[in-house]
Amino acid sequence: SDFALVDSEGVSLPDSEWPHSQHNPQWTDGPTGPGGRVLLYDNGNGIGRSRVVEYDVDLGTKTVTQLWSWTEPDWFNPTLGDADRLPDGLVLITQGFNRARTPESTDHSELVELDPPNDVVWRLSFNDPQWPVYRAQRIDGCELFANTRFCDR
């Protein structure tokens, strides 16, 4: 309760905009200094919606500015998920799904690459709800398998 949460215009946001059971916070430098930005996957426990959100954290003024958030209708999973900033500025999102935790749901896991705040670049759906996905990482295939036939290295 020591910090104020505001939007990008400086308007106070309700407590429901704070993260609820976040995963894998990723700290980067921001306009307020080193380690001033945090990107995270917010499971949304207690409010029933999952999302990815990025904040600018100013420790001097104790102000947290919500820069953007992204979600989709009916997207909620209380236990799984991940968000990673990629070198090109895009965000790789793991929309995790765990049928054991939400057996009544017909949802499924997906990987989404996002150009923040709202442009989906691509999506990979795991249509079988028995396949839970927790986290994903972008791996350059040419770094793993240096094949001169397919890679310009």
Residues above pLDDT 90, as percent of the chain? 40
Does residue 50 contact residue 81 with C-beta atoms inside 8 Å?
Answer: yes
Grade residue 48 by pLDDT with cuts at 50, 70 and 90. Answer: confident
Reported in sequence order, the residue ranges of 7-118 that DSSP labels E, i.e. its strands, are: 22-30, 33-42, 51-58, 63-70, 82-85, 91-95, 110-115
Look at strands 63-70 and 4-6 and give their pairing.
parallel
- pTM assigned to the model: 0.83
pLDDT tens for each residue of 93-115: 998 776 666 666 667 788 999 99
Residue range 41-58: mean pLDDT, rounded = 90
What is the separation, in whole angstroms, between the first and last Cα of the chain? 51
